[in-house]
């Protein structure tokens, strides 16, 4: 059996089981680590040191995508867009990576008041939705997935989601599959057809404009909505103060996503900036 080499209570090392491209410019990495596989909750993330030298200096945050406690692994998804993810894409199976985690809070689900949940992922915002769907099913909450991407080629997590639920709505900006347009339009159309909303909940992750629009839709239909924010994070523990987001609360005008999030109630965040 492959082994994880611990360093201290927060910094871990784990062996890479595979690191492969699953869609154009999008990679999936599987890491062997028993503790993360067993204890991670949906919405939490890890911060990976992508280089052994000073460039880049800051770690990179990645949502935990999927876990398998019995086989002791967890997965992340990432898009290769900058120097950090370019370096990560060259990591080979069998190499050891250094990371901090699991970090952050997580999505909250109460089966006593929620029977059906809408899981909305925009682009790589789909990453936490696979682990979340597992989590909800274990609590007898039915997941309905809304998956929005630019083009059909980016639907990298579709097989994982299809193994969990048959209720999947897809929207592509180029119309290559599913509805043409933004996934928020599909959520709006779905809610418009419902006759009651008291047992629904929305969970979302994606670009800020998408989350902003979802918050407006959730408010219109009086449906609770939790959003996981995507922002630049350096330290992952609230020390560098680089991930501030404006709130609607004048007494607490800013929150720090890595330390107080990444999951918030949609109504808490002011997306105007």
CATH code of 89's domain: 2.40.30.10
Give domain status of residue 200, yes or no: yes
The reply to whether 110 falls in a domain is no
**What are the DSSP E strand ranges found in 152-215?**
168-172, 179-180, 200-205
120 shares a domain with 99 = no
Specify whether 162 is located in the same domain as 92: no
Q: Which domain holds residue 39?
A: 5-103
Q: Are residues 123 and 226 in the same domain?
A: yes
pTM of the model: 0.91
**Does the residue 50 lie in any domain?**
yes
Domain boundary among 103, 132, 161: 103
Residue 264 resides in a domain: no
Both 124 and 92 in a single domain?
A: no
Q: Which class for 195: exposed (0-12), middle (13-18), buried (19 or more C-beta within 10 A)? A: exposed
Note whether 146 and 69 are same-domain residues. Answer: no
Cα–Cα distances in angstroms (integers) from residue 84 to residues 23, 57, 209, 270, 271, in the given order: 19, 9, 25, 29, 26
The span from the CA of 203 to the CA of 225, in Å, is: 6
Same domain, 153 and 56: no
258 domain-assigned: no
Q: For residue 102, is the peptide bond before it cis, meaning its omega torsion is within 30 degrees of 0?
A: yes
> What is residue 51's predicted lDDT score, i.e. its pLDDT?
74
pLDDT per residue, tens digit, the chain (273 aa), is 333 333 344 788 999 999 999 999 999 999 999 999 999 999 999 999 887 766 666 778 999 999 999 999 999 999 999 888 899 999 999 999 999 889 999 999 999 888 999 999 999 999 999 999 999 999 999 999 999 999 999 999 999 999 999 999 999 999 999 999 999 999 999 999 998 888 899 999 999 999 999 999 999 999 999 999 987 666 666 666 667 888 888 888 888 887 888 999 999 998 887
Domain-embedded: residue 254: no
Helix (H, G, I), strand (E, B) or coil at 167: coil
Do 94 and 165 sit in the same domain of this protein?
Answer: no
Contacts of 40 (CB under 8 A, 6+ apart): 64, 67, 74, 101, 102, 131
Residues 47 and 143 in one domain: no
Contact of 65 with 129, CB cutoff 8 Å: no
Domain shared by 124 and 96, yes or no = no
Token pair 């008041």: residue: 113
Which neighbouring-strand residues pair with 30?
18, 75
Asked if 127 and 226 sit in the same domain, the reply is yes
Chosen domain end from 103, 131, 149:
103
Asked if 10 and 91 sit in the same domain, the reply is: yes
Task: In whole angstroms, give the CA distance from residue 257 to residue 106.
Answer: 12
Distance between CA atoms of residues 81 and 25, nearest Å: 8
Q: In whole angstroms, what is the distance from residue 43 CA to residue 220 CA?
A: 25
CATH of the domain at 133: 3.40.50.80
Token couple for 1: 């059996």
The closest alpha carbon to 232, from 217, 220, 242, belongs to: 242
What's the pLDDT at 272? 81
In a domain, 263, yes or no: no
- pLDDT value for 244: 82
Pair (54, 77) in one structural domain: yes
Count of structural domains, the chain: 2
Tokens of 180: 């043409």
The residue out of 103, 126, 148 marking a domain boundary is 103
């Amino acid at each position: 059996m492959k082994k994880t080499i611990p360093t201290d209570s927060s910094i871990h090392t784990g062996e890479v089981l595979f690191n492969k491209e699953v869609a154009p410019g999008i990679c999936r990495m599987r890491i062997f680590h028993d503790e993360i596989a067993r204890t991670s909750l949906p919405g939490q993330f890890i911060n990976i040191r992508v280089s052994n030298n000073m460039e880049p200096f800051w770690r990179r945050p990645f949502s935990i995508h999927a876990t398998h406690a019995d086989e002791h692994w967890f997965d992340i998804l990432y898009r290769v867009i900058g120097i950090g993810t370019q370096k990560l894409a060259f990591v080979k199976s069998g190499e050891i990576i250094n990371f901090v985690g699991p970090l952050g809070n997580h999505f909250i689900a109460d089966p006593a008041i929620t029977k059906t949940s809408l899981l909305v992922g925009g682009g790589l915002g789909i990453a936490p939705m696979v682990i979340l769907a597992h989590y909800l099913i274990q609590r007898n909450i039915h997941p309905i997935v809304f998956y929005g991407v630019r083009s059909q080629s980016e639907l990298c997590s579709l097989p994982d989601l299809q193994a969990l639920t048959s209720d999947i709505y897809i929207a592509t900006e180029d119309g290559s599959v599913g509805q043409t347009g933004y996934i928020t339009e599909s959520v709006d159309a779905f809610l418009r057809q419902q006759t009651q909303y008291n047992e629904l909940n929305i969970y979302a992750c994606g670009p800020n404009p998408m989350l902003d629009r979802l918050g407006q839709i959730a408010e219109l239909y009086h449906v609770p909505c939790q959003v996981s924010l995507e922002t630049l994070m350096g330290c992952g523990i609230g020390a560098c103060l680089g991930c501030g987001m404006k709130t609607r609360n004048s007494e607490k005008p800013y929150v720090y996503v890595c330390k107080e999030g990444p999951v918030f109630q949609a109504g808490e965040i002011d997306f105007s900036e």
